[in-house]
């Protein structure tokens, strides 16, 4: 009884945290207007496409009698081919994402979730099926899926750098990975090659804090990861700047190379920038693939 | 005190601490700055990077030097350094400080106090007991520790008089009681007074006497006099000296009532002269305003002379019943009055209604019987505000029915018809003389000449209060002059004419004196002692030694004779005195006063009053150390790369150091204005009830969110408005929840609210009780609403008609529920001529936004959401409740749309679309 009550209470509290993210994501998604995008060819779907004369091999049930009764010929009513694409999202829930160098900035995790959820809303409105990579939340359509996604992303992971989830990817689906990609590279490599093997293509969006790009530190400093597992002490932080920037550039190069090899697209977003431009880029990147 | 290089040290041994500085240098050099911990997710990219040098940043030499300086400043500061250490330590044993403490020293009283303070410090260091004796206010001397006296220094003030003979005697008496010898320091004001030598002899007998006196001679101002149209000003100085210029300021109230300098005049003491004089001609208007003359730059009672009524010419309006008889000037009823008053008073000419706005001091009506109603009303009002109405009888008054049956308001008594005449050719009796004035009469004390007689007069009806009103009567007891008070003023009736037709009174000197006593004529000439005999004068304001006027409080009255001849002292303080309606100024110096400088015997050492004060600089050094340490903190932070987070602290610290007094008032106001105007902001009135205010704020937030998602109105975070403090003009809509216990706004707040309503604002009153108990307007909240709204400028109201624009400003609504769906909603009523045109669904209504919407449905409760957008309060039950909340939200949207767009939706252009949607 008690456990159930507290669970209820906690879930209410958790649920009350969802709406702001949802509302912001809805608001952001509202800035990108969608049309229904049919496939512009006859196929399975709900909308009328054309009448064509019945041919041999057409089932009698397919004959549209209302149209056929106007003349002698028999017509078949064709519907537009509408097919739902499955899009799988993965957003880094690791501790390294929960970082913002200034109070006025959003954390990387917050920005990543906002972008992920907005993308999901756009996709659902477009009639696609959206889900998470892995087995927890397979792709489904409908608004309820948005709420499930938001709920899934409201849980933080304790690990410092969580590896991309690459299990249970549906062949020939599309995928969106949002992370800072500061963790071990071999995991990313593994995930992408596995995806490429299954014909899954998609988008990598790297979200970085401005301080990670500029490294504005000086003096004797101990750098700690957000989870506290890794640390590095230096006596003169200012001297490390050039070498750090060099390593960061190499990391980005490695990602670019990986994407080129697997046919994915790579985007970079800083938390100082407007989320809208990133969302537009994401949407274009996905849409460009589906055409 | 040890003196090193001109600087004294109270604790020189602390200086040994300076020896530790080199050790400190070595220690500080060895310690590197501590590391900072930083969260940094990209630390994985840093792993394995080695530092180029293995040595950390060492503390730079200049930072070390800064810290050394700070340490040195602290050590030296603690050693108690003193600049200008005074070294003239003389004498032991008790010390008596004698102060003249008269007005003559008031100008330099600050110097005197500084010097006393220095002497007390020195005596305290030497452990000498001290006593202070003020000769102008003597008390028995008590020898105490010097520190005990220092706290009482601010209470030592100079008096507005010289020490009187009695006071000096009292001081001498008190000093003889003191046992043992004592040294004396005498702070002299440079003026001699009776008993001075005796006092000096007495003090010299007990010990050494040293005199401290001011450098410059005393200057004072004698009372101003007014003669032949000019003001005579005289200044005196104590000792003849080189030529000197002084400036005398005439101060008084300007027409707006504020004190200001009305005139300033330069005077010059010729070389070797002690007197300086000047004549000052001023327009009478200006002259009447002057309340005091003072020597510029002097702050003493002697440099000030107060003026009283003597500079003022009274304004008199003379009005006669028959002014149109040409060529008969000697027979004019006003001739004698003009003669009497012209030297001392100014006349105001014109008809009665013309002169009243000029507000003369006196209006004389000579033989005027009937007044027009408006004239009478105006005259009564003027008298009640303090005017003196002086009426003379005459043939017209005697013939009229004025005051016959009942007392006229502008006559002191009822009159018998016809009057009487005595001593004429056709009458039996003798002409009557005057009876002696009773002591309750204002004329008491005036000598009655024998040749004054009265032949004709108007007679007073014997009424119960007649006796109280008679102030002069004839020898047979019939009233000659009667008087009654009316409001603040008075009405006086002479029962004879103002010319010599009925009596010889206007021909006599008594007439002048009587008018003088009635304050018709002013006392332009100085008053004589016998003139004031028998009068009592009450002090209103008194001068202190610095020349400041203060309220006299409960000081006793003073006999008039003493006021002229008496010696200024504690019993007769200079200031302003009042008796009846007359005012008299008593100044420190009389008109023939002479200032005599004191001559000291050759064996008395004399010193100036200039002090070279010791300056302890320990505090300065310690502050310097603090500043250095602050710089050190900032520099250390900058070196270790932590200045970013310290920047805020530095700015705050800098602000504290530079402008500790800066008030943040103006930026606050600007912030409020910016917050309220950078976006559209909804506002609610703060009621003082925390719960209601929170719900109101949450309600406004909910409404703002609804508007944000549904319409192109995108309001910012709402604001609670304090009616007393905040500007209202920024808000299109004020939500005002009513609580029974909220305070009534002030008059200024109501003025603001009315301006707000007039300039297009709207207030939504919400009694929040939905009239559930069906009390109507007499529920507690309803009554409060009536109280609150009573001073507001609210037009006539009506329940929202079906075709009001509120029903279709955005949504189509039929009713306006909030948390409750009960009571009606009231808005400004439609104009009477609004008519429905055939075929139109609504009337062409008024073009204005209704300034108020009044209801009780607790709308804020229905709108209220928390920060996450969840509704705060339940509405109804289940789905029906949510529907009601939705309708409440729609009402809010409609309301805001109505405020912002006015009657846009009332335009006939929308008729087809609306008809379509209404399904008609």
- Pair B591, B222: CB distance under 8 Å: yes
Tell me which of B892 and B374 has the higher pLDDT. Answer: B892
Interchain contact A247–B (C-beta under 8 A): yes
Interchain contact A35–B (C-beta under 8 A): no
Q: How far is B49 from chain A (nearest CA, A)?
A: 7
Tell me which of A212 and A42 has the higher pLDDT. Answer: A212
B-chain residues within 8 Å CB-CB of A238? Answer: 641
At residue A206, does pLDDT exceed 90? Answer: yes
Q: Are strands B575-579 and A129-132 parallel, antiparallel or unpaired?
A: unpaired
Interchain contact A236–B (C-beta under 8 A): yes
Interchain contact B328–A (C-beta under 8 A): no
Q: How far apart are CA B27 and CA B20, in angstroms?
A: 11
Q: What is the DSSP string of B4-40?
A: ETTEEESSGGGGGGGGGHHHHHHHHHHPPPPPEEEE-
Q: What is the pLDDT of residue B360?
A: 83
Contact criterion met (CB < 8 Å) for B870 and A19: yes
Q: Which residue of B has its CA nearest to A108?
A: B41
DSSP classification of residue B443: T
B-chain residues within 8 Å CB-CB of A161? Answer: 44
pTM for the model stands at 0.40
Contact criterion met (CB < 8 Å) for A230 and B53: no
Interchain contact B49–A (C-beta under 8 A): yes
| Buried/exposed code over B447-460 (b: 16+ C-beta within 10 A; e: otherwise) | ebeeebbbbbbbbb
Residue numbers of A between 84 and 143 with CB closer than 8 Å to B: 96-97, 99, 108
Q: What is the pLDDT of residue B665?
A: 46
Q: How far apart are CA A278 and CA A267, in angstroms?
A: 8
At residue A136, does pLDDT exceed 80? Answer: yes
Q: What is the pLDDT of residue A289?
A: 45
Tell me which of A121 and B843 has the higher pLDDT. Answer: A121
Mean pLDDT along residues A3-30: 60
Q: Among A16-25, A83-92, B382-391, B461-470, which is the least confidently predicted range?
A: A16-25
Mean pLDDT along residues B306-330: 68
**Which of A17, A182, A234 is facing B42, going by the closest CB pair?**
A182
Contact criterion met (CB < 8 Å) for A96 and B41: yes
Q: What is the pLDDT of residue B839?
A: 63
Interchain contact A181–B (C-beta under 8 A): no
Nearest to B701 by CA among B722, B724, B720, B678: B720
Q: How far is A284 from chain B (nearest CA, A)?
A: 26
Contact criterion met (CB < 8 Å) for B38 and A224: yes
Mean pLDDT along residues B50-62: 67
Contact criterion met (CB < 8 Å) for B36 and A224: no
Q: What is the pLDDT of residue B322?
A: 58
**Strand ranges, E, within B152-258:** 183-188, 209-213, 219-221, 225-227, 230-237, 244-253
Q: 3-state class of B751 per DSSP?
A: helix
Contact criterion met (CB < 8 Å) for B46 and A96: no
Tell me which of B46 and B832 has the higher pLDDT. Answer: B46
B-chain residues within 8 Å CB-CB of A211? Answer: 40
Q: Among A51-65, A261-275, B522-536, B710-724, which is the least confidently predicted range?
A: B522-536
Contact criterion met (CB < 8 Å) for A244 and B49: yes
Token pair recorded at residue B795? 């037009």
Interchain contact A219–B (C-beta under 8 A): yes
Q: How far is B699 from chain A (nearest CA, A)?
A: 18
Q: What is the pLDDT of residue B641?
A: 61
Interchain contact A275–B (C-beta under 8 A): no
Secondary structure element (H or E) that encloses residue A233, with its range? strand A231-234
Contact criterion met (CB < 8 Å) for A220 and B33: yes
Mean pLDDT along residues B392-398: 83
Contact criterion met (CB < 8 Å) for B42 and A248: yes
Burial class (CB in 10 A: 0-12, 13-18, 19+), B182: buried
Q: What is the pLDDT of residue B891?
A: 93
Q: What is the pLDDT of residue B230?
A: 77
A-chain residues within 8 Å CB-CB of B37? Answer: 221-222, 224
Nearest to A169 by CA among A142, A205, A140, A131: A131
Q: Which of B42, B712, B865 to mutate to test the interface with A (most CBs of A within 10 A)?
A: B42
Q: How far is A17 from chain B (nearest CA, A)?
A: 7
Q: Among A13-22, A209-218, B671-680, which is the least confidently predicted range?
A: A13-22
Q: Are strands B615-616 and B81-83 parallel, antiparallel or unpaired?
A: antiparallel
Contact criterion met (CB < 8 Å) for A183 and B44: yes
Q: What is the pLDDT of residue A178?
A: 92
Express as a percent the part of chain A with pLDDT over 90: 14
Q: What is the pLDDT of residue B525?
A: 44
Q: What is the pLDDT of residue B652?
A: 61
Express as a percent the part of chain B with pLDDT over 90: 5
Q: How far apart are CA B813 and CA B894, in angstroms?
A: 9
Contact criterion met (CB < 8 Å) for A235 and B56: yes
Interchain contact B690–A (C-beta under 8 A): no
Token pair recorded at residue B322? 């028959």
Q: How far is B690 from chain A (nearest CA, A)?
A: 25
Q: What is the pLDDT of residue B664?
A: 43
Q: How far apart are CA B473 and CA B830, in angstroms?
A: 73
Contact criterion met (CB < 8 Å) for B46 and A234: yes
Q: What is the pLDDT of residue B771?
A: 66
Q: How far is B34 from chain A (nearest CA, A)?
A: 7
Q: Which of A232, A233, A254 to mutate to test the interface with B (most CBs of B within 10 A)?
A: A232
Mean pLDDT along residues A255-281: 89
Contact criterion met (CB < 8 Å) for A221 and B54: no
Digit-coded pLDDT (tens) for B217-256: 788 888 887 776 678 888 888 888 888 888 888 888 777 7
Secondary structure element (H or E) that encloses residue B424, with its range? none
ipTM of the complex: 0.75
Q: How many contacts, defined by CB atoms under 8 Å, are there between A and B?
A: 115
Interchain contact A40–B (C-beta under 8 A): no
Interchain contact A209–B (C-beta under 8 A): yes
Mean pLDDT along residues B60-74: 84
Token pair recorded at residue B78? 């603690």
pLDDT band at A291 (very low <50, low <70, confident <90, very high): very low
Contact criterion met (CB < 8 Å) for B44 and A161: yes
Contact criterion met (CB < 8 Å) for A220 and B47: no
Q: What is the pLDDT of residue A209?
A: 92
User: What domains can be seen in chain A, in order of their start residue?
Assistant: 17-36+84-290 (3.40.50), 48-79 (no CATH)
Q: How far is A16 from chain B (nearest CA, A)?
A: 7
Tell me which of B343 and A261 has the higher pLDDT. Answer: A261
Q: Which of B33, B34, B40, B868 to mutate to test the interface with A (most CBs of A within 10 A)?
A: B40
Q: Which residue of B has its CA nearest to A250?
A: B45
**Which of A19, A218, A239 is facing B51, going by the closest CB pair?**
A239
**Strand ranges, E, within B609-669:** 615-616
Q: What is the pLDDT of residue A254?
A: 93
User: What domains can be seen in chain B, in order of their start residue?
Assistant: 1-29+58-84+616-661 (no CATH), 95-218+597-613 (3.40.50.410), 314-517 (3.40.50.880), 670-918 (3.40.50.12140)
Q: How far is B679 from chain A (nearest CA, A)?
A: 19
At residue B344, does pLDDT exceed 90? Answer: no
Interchain contact B35–A (C-beta under 8 A): yes
pLDDT band at A36 (very low <50, low <70, confident <90, very high): very low
Q: Among A229-233, B333-337, B911-915, which is the least confidently predicted range?
A: B911-915
Contact criterion met (CB < 8 Å) for A226 and B39: yes
pLDDT band at B695 (very low <50, low <70, confident <90, very high): very high
pLDDT band at A18 (very low <50, low <70, confident <90, very high): low
At residue B523, does pLDDT exceed 70? Answer: no
Interchain contact B281–A (C-beta under 8 A): no
Q: What is the pLDDT of residue B644?
A: 58
Q: Among B82-91, B199-208, B569-578, B617-626, which is the least confidently predicted range?
A: B82-91
Mean pLDDT along residues B211-216: 78
- Pair B301, B543: CB distance under 8 Å: yes
Q: How far is A251 from chain B (nearest CA, A)?
A: 9
What is the average pLDDT score of chain B? 80
Q: Among A192-196, B489-493, B587-591, B732-736, which is the least confidently predicted range?
A: B587-591
Contact criterion met (CB < 8 Å) for A20 and B868: yes
Tell me which of B918 and B791 has the higher pLDDT. Answer: B791
At residue B262, does pLDDT exceed 70? Answer: yes
Express as a percent the part of chain B with pLDDT over 70: 85
At residue B377, does pLDDT exceed 70? Answer: yes
A-chain residues within 8 Å CB-CB of B36? Answer: 219-222
CA distances, A47 to each of A33, A50, A79, A83 (Å): 21, 10, 6, 12
At residue A17, does pLDDT exceed 70? Answer: no
Q: What is the pLDDT of residue B488?
A: 80
């Amino acid at each position: 009884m008690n456990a159930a009550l507290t669970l209820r209470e906690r879930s209410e509290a958790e649920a009350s945290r969802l709406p702001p993210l949802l509302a912001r994501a809805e608001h952001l998604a509202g800035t990108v207007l969608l049309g229904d995008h049919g496939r512009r060819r006859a196929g399975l779907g709900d909308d009328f496409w054309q009448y064509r004369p019945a041919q041999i091999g057409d089932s009698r049930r397919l004959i549209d009698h209302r149209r056929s009764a106007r003349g002698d010929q028999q017509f078949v009513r064709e519907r537009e081919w509408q097919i739902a694409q499955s899009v799988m999202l993965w957003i880094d829930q690791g501790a390294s994402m929960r970082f913002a160098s200034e109070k006025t900035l959003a954390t990387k995790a917050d920005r990543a979730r906002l972008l992920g959820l907005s993308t999901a809303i756009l996709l659902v409105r477009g009639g696609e099926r959206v889900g998470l990579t892995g087995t927890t939340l397979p792709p489904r359509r409908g608004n309820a899926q948005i709420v499930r996604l938001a709920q899934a992303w409201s849980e933080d992971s304790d690990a410092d750098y969580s590896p991309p989830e690459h299990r249970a990817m549906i062949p020939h689906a599309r995928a969106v990975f949002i992370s800072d990609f500061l963790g071990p590279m071999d995991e990313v490599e593994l995930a992408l090659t596995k995806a490429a093997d299954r014909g899954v293509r998609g988008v990598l969006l790297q979200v970085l804090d401005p301080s990670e790009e500029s490294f504005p530190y000086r003096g004797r400093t101990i750098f700690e990861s957000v989870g506290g597992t890794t640390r590095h002490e230096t006596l003169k932080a200012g001297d490390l700047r050039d070498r750090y920037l060099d390593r960061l550039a190499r990391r980005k190069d490695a990602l670019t190379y990986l994407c080129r090899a697997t046919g994915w697209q790579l985007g970079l977003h800083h938390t100082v920038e407007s989320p809208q431009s990133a969302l537009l880029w994401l949407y274009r990147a996905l849409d460009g693939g589906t055409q | 005190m040890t003196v090193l290089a001109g600087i004294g040290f109270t604790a020189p041994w602390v200086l040994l601490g300076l020896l530790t500085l080199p050790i400190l240098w070595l220690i500080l050099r060895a310690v590197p700055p501590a590391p900072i911990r930083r969260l940094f997710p990209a630390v994985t990219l840093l792993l394995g990077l080695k530092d180029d040098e293995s040595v950390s940043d060492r503390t730079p030499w200049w930072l070390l030097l800064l810290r050394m300086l700070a340490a040195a400043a602290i050590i030296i500061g603690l050693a108690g350094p003193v600049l200008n250490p005074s070294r003239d330590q003389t004498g032991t044993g008790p010390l008596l400080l004698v102060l003249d403490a008269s007005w003559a020293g008031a100008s330099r009283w600050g110097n005197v106090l500084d010097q006393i303070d220095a002497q007390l410090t020195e005596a305290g260091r030497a452990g000498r007991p001290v006593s202070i004796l003020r000769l102008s206010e003597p008390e028995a001397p008590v020898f105490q520790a010097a520190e005990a006296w220092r706290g009482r220094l601010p209470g030592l003030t100079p008096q507005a008089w010289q020490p009187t003979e009695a006071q000096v005697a009292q001081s001498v008496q008190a000093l003889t009681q003191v046992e043992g010898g004592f040294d004396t320091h005498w702070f002299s004001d440079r003026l001699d007074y009776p008993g001075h030598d005796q006092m000096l002899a007495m003090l010299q007998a007990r010990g050494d006497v040293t005199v401290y006196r001011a450098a410059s001679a005393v200057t004072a101002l004698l009372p101003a006099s007014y003669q032949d149209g000019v003001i005579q000003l005289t200044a005196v100085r104590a000792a003849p000296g080189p030529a000197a210029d002084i400036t005398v300021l005439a101060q008084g109230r300007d027409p707006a009532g504020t004190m200001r300098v009305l005139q300033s005049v330069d005077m010059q003491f010729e070389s070797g002269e002690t007197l300086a004089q000047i004549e000052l001609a001023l327009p009478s208007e200006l002259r009447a305003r002057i309340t005091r003359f003072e020597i510029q730059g002097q702050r003493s009672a002697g440099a000030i002379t107060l003026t009283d009524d003597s500079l003022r010419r009274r304004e008199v309006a003379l009005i006669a019943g028959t002014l149109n008889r040409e060529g008969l000037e000697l027979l004019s009823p006003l001739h004698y009055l003009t003669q009497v008053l012209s030297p001392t008073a100014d006349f105001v000419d014109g008809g009665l209604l013309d002169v009243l706005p000029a507000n003369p001091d006196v209006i004389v009506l000579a033989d005027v019987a009937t007044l027009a109603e408006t004239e009478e009303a105006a005259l009564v009002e003027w008298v009640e505000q303090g005017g003196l109405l002086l009426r003379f009888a005459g043939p017209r008054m005697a013939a009229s029915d004025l005051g016959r049956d009942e007392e006229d308001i502008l006559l002191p008594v009822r009159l018998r018809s016809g009057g009487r005449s005595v001593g004429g050719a056709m009458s039996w009796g003798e002409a009557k003389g005057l009876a002696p004035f009773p002591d309750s009469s204002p004329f008491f004390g005036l000598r009655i000449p024998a040749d004054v007689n009265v032949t004709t007069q108007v007679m007073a009806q014997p009424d119960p209060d007649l006796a109280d009103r008679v102030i002069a009567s004839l020898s047979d007891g019939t009233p000659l002059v009667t008087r009654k008070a009316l409001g603040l003023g008075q009405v006086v009736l002479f029962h004879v004419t103002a010319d010599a037709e009925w009596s010889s009174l206007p021909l006599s000197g008594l007439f002048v004196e009587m008018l003088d006593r009635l304050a018709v004529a002013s006392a332009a000439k100085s008053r004589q002692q016998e003139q004031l005999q028998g009068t009592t004068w009450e002090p209103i304001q008194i001068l202190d030694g610095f020349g400041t006027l203060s309220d006299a409080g409960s000081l006793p009255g003073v006999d008039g004779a003493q006021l002229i001849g008496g010696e200024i002292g504690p019993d007769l303080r200079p200031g302003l005195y009042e008796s009846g309606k007359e005012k008299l100024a008593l100044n420190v110096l009389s008109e023939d006063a002479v200032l005599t400088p004191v001559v000291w015997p050759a064996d008395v050492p004399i010193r100036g009053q200039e002090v070279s004060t010791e300056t302890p600089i320990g505090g300065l050094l310690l502050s310097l150390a603090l500043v250095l340490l602050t710089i050190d903190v900032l520099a250390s932070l900058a070196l270790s790369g932590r200045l970013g987070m310290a920047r805020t602290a530095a700015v705050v610290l800098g602000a504290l150091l530079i402008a500790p007094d800066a008030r943040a008032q103006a930026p606050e106001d600007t912030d409020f204005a910016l917050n309220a105007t950078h976006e559209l902001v909804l506002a609610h009135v703060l009621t003082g009830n925390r719960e209601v205010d929170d719900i109101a704020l949450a309600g406004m937030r909910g409404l703002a969110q609804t508007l944000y998602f549904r319409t192109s109105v995108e309001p910012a975070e709402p604001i609670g408005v304090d009616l007393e403090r905040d500007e209202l003009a920024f808000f299109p809509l004020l939500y005002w929840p009513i609580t029974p216990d909220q305070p009534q706004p002030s008059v200024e707040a109501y003025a603001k609210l009315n301006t707000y309503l007039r300039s297009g604002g709207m207030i939504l009153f919400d009694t929040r009780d939905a009239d559930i108990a069906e009390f109507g307007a007499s529920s507690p909240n309803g009554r409060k609403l009536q109280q609150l709204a009573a001073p507001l400028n609210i037009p006539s109201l009506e329940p929202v008609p079906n075709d009001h624009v509120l029903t279709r400003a955005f949504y189509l609504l039929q009713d306006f529920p909030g948390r409750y769906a009960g009571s009606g909603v009231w808005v400004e009523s439609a104009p009477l001529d609004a008519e429905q045109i055939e075929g139109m669904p609504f009337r062409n209504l008024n073009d204005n936004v209704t300034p108020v919407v009044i209801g009780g449905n607790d709308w804020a409760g229905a709108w209220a959401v928390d920060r996450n957008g969840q509704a705060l309060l339940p509405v109804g039950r289940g789905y029906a409740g949510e529907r009601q909340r939705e309708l409440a939200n729609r009402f809010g949207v409609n309301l805001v749309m109505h405020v912002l767009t006015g009657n846009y939706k009332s335009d006939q252009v929308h008729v087809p679309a609306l008809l379509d949607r209404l399904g008609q």
